[in-house]
Amino acid sequence: EAGVAQSPRYKIIEKRQSVAFWCNPISGHATLYWYQQILGQGPKLLIQFQNNGVVDDSQLPKDRFSAERLKGVDSTLKIQPAKLEDSAVYLCASSLSPTSGRDEQFFGPGTRLTVL
Amino acid sequence: LAKTTQPISMDSYEGQEVNITCSHNNIATNDYITWYQQFPSQGPRFIIQGYKTKVTNEVASLFIPADRKSSTLSLPRVSLSDTAVYYCLVGDSFNAGNMLTFGGGTRLMVKP
């Protein structure tokens, strides 16, 4: 079974530029998550989708971050414009069950973003 | 919102049992407790999940007291490859606004 795919794996941009990350979850997984992990910290949930609807985006900085999952499958996370403090690893995860918190999240390898 | 607190780091030796405790005083009724393992440059990997009492699988056990305000991950007979960061996650992914909260993680170092 293929895992969660993310691209690119690494990205270096200058502040005020825009960047987009792509995630393809495990086939059949209804729930998709985007996390931000700053070096030395635990992952912080940015947004959670169930199929193509947003379940939770309370920690997403909506003035600069946006995410979509138009067909309920793959997803894109965008930052526009980027700030220095956005340097982090952006992790995508997916899970099977759409109705319960008691399921396992499968994480992708992450995209390491460096903002100069 | 359920916030978690874990020890920042722990050291152990190969073959020993390791117990990592997570405190989550504000856990909600619908919240589950999940533990993940993370190696450098990789995404977290699921270890075990539970709601109450004790859960055991092939790699770990999870002990949850009746008040559910803490939980303990038990790793039997650790090896060098168990050196990683371990995260305690509390939440219910179905309810909007009940955020899935990772703790700061516990950095486990297993020595030969």
Instruction: List the domains of chain A with CATH numbers.
Output: 5-97+104-115 (2.60.40.10)
Percent of chain A with pLDDT over 90: 72
A99/chain B closest Cα distance in angstroms: 6
Kindly provide the residue ranges of all beta strands, DSSP E only, lying in A1-116, ordered along the sequence: 5-7, 10-13, 19-24, 31-37, 44-50, 53-56, 65-68, 75-79, 88-95, 106-107, 111-115
pLDDT value at A8 more than 70: yes
Q: Which residues of B are less than 8 Å from A55 in CB distance? A: 93-94, 96
DSSP-H helix ranges across chain B: none
Q: Please report which confidence band the pLDDT of residue A101 belongs to, taking 50, 70 and 90 as the band edges.
A: low
Range with the poorest average pLDDT among A26-40, A59-73, B98-112:
B98-112
Q: What is the pLDDT of residue B97?
A: 53
Q: Which residues of A are less than 8 Å from B49 in CB distance? A: 102, 104
A58 touches chain B (CB under 8 A): yes
- Check if CATH label 2.60.40.10 holds for domain B9-111: yes
User: For B15-29, what is each residue's pLDDT tens digit?
Assistant: 999 999 999 998 888
Rounded-to-integer distance, Cα B81 and Cα B57, Å: 18
Instruction: Please name the amino acid found at residue A38.
Output: I
Higher pLDDT, B100 or B37: B37
Residue A30's SS3 state is coil
Q: What is the pLDDT of residue B88?
A: 92
Please state the domain extents for chain B. Answer: 9-111
pLDDT value at A109 more than 90: yes
pLDDT value at B38 more than 80: yes
Nearest CA in chain B to A32: B93
Average pLDDT (A37-42) is 92
The verdict on a CB contact (< 8 Å) between A107 and B97 is no
